[in-house]
Amino acid sequence: MYNYMRPNLILLIALWAYTGTVSAQAPKYSNEFLAIGVGSQALGMGNAVSSTVSDITAGYWNPAGLVHIQNNIQASFMHSEYFAGIAKYDYGAISKKIDSNSTCALSMIRFGVDDIPNTTELINSNGQIDYNRITTFSAADYAFIGSYARKLKYPGLSFGANVKVVRRVIGDFANSWGFGLDAGLQYRKKNFRAGVMLRDITGTFNAWSYSLSDRTKEIFTQTGNEIPVNSMEITLPKIIPGVAYKFGFKKFSATASLDLDITTDGKRNVLIKSNLISVDPHAGVEFDYNNVVFLRAGINNIQEVREQNNIIVQTAQPNFGVGVKILNISLDYALTNVGQQVGLLSHVFTIRANIDAVRK
């Protein structure tokens, strides 16, 4: 009989790449699609925006920044593709001013791989290959984020919080629902900015359930893989403090910022690491002319990589971005190098619209 295990390799990779070791209580890199980032402005600055973000994307980066939106309603949409277009990443959000001191927002993120071949039924009951039995499925991660922000009584200080629901789906084989909370603070005094984002402050819980056919279970057994069982996955808290300073000269200005991603899920391949916590610094700069034309650059993902000659070298991810603001419409573009390899450049486009401007 034809060995049907080989054509099912794609299915196995898709299933396990998305679930990770979900049987563990707190696996490393859980819900990692939520660490990619949103908005071409932030991505072009190496994601170093926790202290400066002041538009609709603050619902993701630091909800405290939502209070600085000067419009009654603001909406944004972003699209990017990774790994030569195999993976699609989309983001959309809308914010609404409640009053002069508070703002709310709703954001949605989707990261997915579509049209994955399902070859579990490639062999018919007679043991023959039948390509008409091949179907396709999608492996997709979704996040729905509700945000609220308010200015505090202390001058320059604002607070924000997120409630998020995470939905992860791998065809008809596996799915999970998750729930988590974020909180953030921002402080402004003249040209100085400071902020901190507390992501997954209570831990984000994902409850996984599986529905595998007998054929799929047989493939897992014959290839030496464990058959997954219903389980709970926990995303541990992450702390992201940041500072920034804005320099100005006539119609020109520049903002330099620095953030630290402090993770609590053990040792990671980052610049500063230990068995307890890991610290991943990233920095960015934004130049603008008259708040109309913008030029951005940033650096993040500083890692150690073992090359073919077994020499360990330190690498970093460079980022570049541009933007333009025309009336109430902002168009932004970022070029990032996901994976730090040639051919993995990702182009990120974002449009933001201000609606019903608040009269001063």
Specify the 3-state DSSP secondary structure of 125. coil
pLDDT at residue number 163: 97
Contact present, 111 and 140 (Cβ < 8 Å):
yes
- pLDDT at residue number 6: 39
DSSP letter at 38 equals -
Q: In this model, does residue 345 exceed pLDDT 90?
A: no
- Which pLDDT band, with edges at 50, 70 and 90, does 28 fall under? low
Residue 141 has pLDDT above 90, yes or no: yes
Other CB atoms within a 10 A radius of the CB of residue 276 amount to: 8
- 35-49, 103-117, 198-212: which range is least confident on average? 198-212
Does 238 fall in a domain? yes
The predicted structure's pLDDT at residue 99 = 94
In this structure, of 75-89, 191-205, 335-349, the range with the lowest mean pLDDT score is: 335-349
Which is nearest to 239 in space by CA: 188, 284, 297, 278? Answer: 278
For the segment 138-146, the average pLDDT, to the nearest whole number, is 95
Q: What are phi and psi of 41, to 5 degrees?
A: -60, -50
pLDDT band at 269 (very low <50, low <70, confident <90, very high): confident
Residue closest to 60 by CA, chosen among 99, 96, 34, 81: 34
Q: Report pLDDT for 309.
A: 81
Region at 31 (left for phi over 0; alpha for psi -120 to 50; beta for the rest)? left
3-state SS string over 153-190? CCCCEEEEEEEEEEEEEECCCEEEEEEEEEEEEEEEEC
pTM: 0.85
Residues in the chain: 360
pLDDT value of residue 213: 75
Rounded to the nearest angstrom, the gap between the alpha carbon of residue 132 and the centroid of all alpha carbons in its chain is 37
CA 14, CA 118: separation in Å to the nearest integer? 10
Does residue 325 lie in a domain region? yes
- Would you say residue 4 lies in a domain? no
Three-class DSSP category at 132: helix
> What are the helix (H) ranges across 149-284?
214-222
Q: What is the domain extent for residue 211? A: 9-357
Residue 358 vs residue 181, higher pLDDT:
181
What mean pLDDT, rounded, does the chain reach?
86
> Phi first, then psi: what are they for 302, rounded to 5°?
-80, 120
pLDDT band for position 314 (cuts 50, 70, 90): confident
Could you give the CA distance from residue 192 to residue 189 in angstroms, rounded to a whole number? 5
Residue 220 has pLDDT above 60, yes or no: yes
Share of the chain above pLDDT 70, in %: 89
Selected residue with higher pLDDT from 305 and 44: 44
Beta strands in 100-134 (DSSP E): 102-118
Helix (H) or strand (E) holding 318: strand 312-326
Q: pLDDT digit string (tens) for 317-331? A: 899 999 999 989 999
Within-domain flag for 103: yes
Average pLDDT value for residue range 178-182:
95
Query: Could you give the CA distance from residue 142 to residue 140 in angstroms, rounded to a whole number?
Result: 7
Total count of domains within the chain: 1
Mean pLDDT (whole number) for 296-302: 93
DSSP summary character for residue 39: -
Higher pLDDT among residues 122 and 267, named by residue: 267
The answer to the question of residue 95 being in a domain is yes
pLDDT value of residue 134: 82
pLDDT given at position 212:
78
- Residue 179 falls inside a structural domain: yes
170-181 burial, b at 16+ Cβ within 10 Å, e below that, comes to bbebbebebebb
Q: Is residue 1 part of a domain?
A: no
**DSSP secondary structure letter of residue 254:** E
Model confidence band, residue 131 (pLDDT cutoffs 50, 70, 90): confident
Per-residue tokens: 271: 């610049």
pLDDT over threshold 50, residue 23: no
Give the contacts of 263 (CB within 8 A, at least 6 positions apart): 236, 238, 270, 277, 278, 279, 280
Residue 357 has a pLDDT of 55
CATH classification at residue 88: 2.40.160.60
Is 183's pLDDT higher than 80?
yes
Interatomic CA distance for residues 320 and 100, integer angstroms: 34
d(CA 42, CA 321): 9
Number of DSSP helices (H) and strands (E) in the chain, helices first:
4, 17
Place of tokens 């209570």: 202
User: Mean of the pLDDT values across residues 62-74?
Assistant: 96
Residue 172 domain flag:
yes
